[in-house]
């Protein structure tokens, strides 16, 4: 029997190196990374935000971080596809656990998330956030923009999320309009991929509709993203409902006619030229999932984020 370990999330002595846990057992941190509140020396931090009080349809995304971590156990210790490398040979990654939110006072939620994100970003590490509904991206954008300036938003989604917003709403369908209005993102350098709905405003953001990307190769979509962001520091937000419900049934607002997980993951794989400073995966809702299809897709999106960070680090 090959050498194995167990509960690497707790027993690991460093933040680098592969785990040896069986895929069916052991503590379920994201990709078996060490659970710790000490982020000193970390190159990347994985953080859960279990919040879904802003949904307009089906709740359940508060269980998203748990499901994504559980699904991440399927990644074994061979070189990670499609990056053909042990992502953690030189990349120090920790699982910071979840954000503690007051479930009885949702008005405190944005400030709580933003404050914690700012603290994590001070370490200089790349932050991968696991939602939660899409409202959590609003305070995350604010925290990243304070550090980097107005961001190019790269949004994979079935919805524009540019509905009316009075600046106080706790709503996953209006945060993009707020981010444009408050100067947190630069709409002239922002792009939405996979949109299959209409909102009253596009806020000047480039929209790639579902049927449009259906006719395109993944490489051409990636080219359009790179051309639009034009070197600006970018933040990637991936709403799992960007995918067709066949590939992501476990989400609150599914929309038919979307792309496959294979196609969108291929697009992500080809975004290494972007100056990405942060990323999230949101709207995974396990109560509506089947055989962890959606959770596996969400975990793979997050794995691709770390793969891009590992490649960038290797390039120096």
Q: What are phi and psi of 154, to 5 degrees?
A: -110, 105
134 is in an annotated binding site: yes
What is the distance between the alpha carbons of residues 63 and 78, in angstroms, rounded to a whole number?
Answer: 28
Residue 91 tokens read as 């990349």
**Strands 191-195 and 34-35, bridge-based pairing:** unpaired
157 is in an annotated binding site: yes
161 is in an annotated binding site: yes
CB contact at 8 A, 139 and 110:
yes
Beta-ladder partners of 154: 191, 236
Using CA of residue 225, residue 226, residue 232, residue 237, what is the dihedral sign? positive
CB contact at 8 A, 260 and 268:
no
The three-state secondary structure class of 152 is: strand
76 is in an annotated binding site: no
CB contact at 8 A, 196 and 257:
yes
241 is in an annotated binding site: yes
**What one-character DSSP code corresponds to residue 149?**
-
CB contact at 8 A, 17 and 37:
no
Place of tokens 């590939």: 247
What is the distance between the alpha carbons of residues 241 and 2, in angstroms, rounded to a whole number?
Answer: 40
CB contact at 8 A, 274 and 313:
no
Using CA of residue 165, residue 160, residue 243, residue 265, what is the dihedral sign? negative
Residue 154 tokens read as 């790269």
What is the distance between the alpha carbons of residues 316 and 313, in angstroms, rounded to a whole number?
Answer: 5
198 is in an annotated binding site: no
For the annotated binding site for Mn(2+), the residues are 134, 157, 159, 161, 239, 241
For the annotated binding site, the residues are 134, 157, 159, 161, 239, 241
């Amino acid at each position: 029997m090959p050498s194995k370990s167990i509960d690497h999330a707790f027993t690991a002595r460093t933040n680098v190196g592969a785990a040896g846990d069986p895929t069916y057992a052991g503590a379920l941190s994201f990709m078996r990374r060490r659970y710790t509140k000490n982020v000193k020396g970390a190159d990347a931090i994985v953080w859960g935000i279990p919040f879904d009080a802003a949904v307009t349809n089906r709740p359940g995304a508060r269980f998203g971080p748990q499901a994504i971590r559980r699904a991440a156990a399927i990644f074994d210790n061979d070189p990670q596809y499609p990056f053909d490398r042990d992502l953690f040979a030189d990349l120090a990654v920790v699982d910071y656990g979840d954000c503690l939110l007051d479930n009885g006072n949702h008005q405190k939620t944005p400030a709580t998330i933003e404050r914690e994100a700012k603290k994590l970003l001070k370490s200089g590490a790349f932050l991968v956030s696991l939602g939660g509904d899409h409202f959590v991206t609003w305070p995350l954008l604010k925290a990243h923009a304070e550090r980097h300036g107005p961001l190019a938003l790269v949004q994979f989604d079935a919805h524009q999320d540019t509905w009316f917003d009075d600046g106080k709403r706790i709503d996953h369908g209006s945060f993009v309009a707020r981010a444009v209005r408050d100067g947190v993102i630069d709409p002239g350098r922002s792009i939405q991929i996979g949109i299959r709905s209409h909102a009253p405003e596009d806020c000047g953001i480039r929209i790639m509709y579902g049927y449009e990307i259906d006719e395109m190769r993944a490489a051409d979509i990636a080219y359009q993203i790179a051309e639009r962001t034009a070197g600006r520091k970018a933040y990637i937000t991936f709403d799992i409902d960007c995918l067709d419900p066949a590939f992501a049934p476990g989400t609150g607002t599914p929309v038919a006619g979307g792309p496959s997980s294979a196609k969108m993951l291929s697009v992500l794989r080809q975004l290494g030229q972007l100056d990405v400073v942060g990323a999230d995966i949101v709207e995974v809702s396990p109560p509506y999932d089947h055989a962890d299809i959606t959770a596996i897709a969400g975990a793979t999106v997050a794995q691709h984020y770390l793969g891009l960070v590992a490649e960038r680090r290797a390039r120096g």
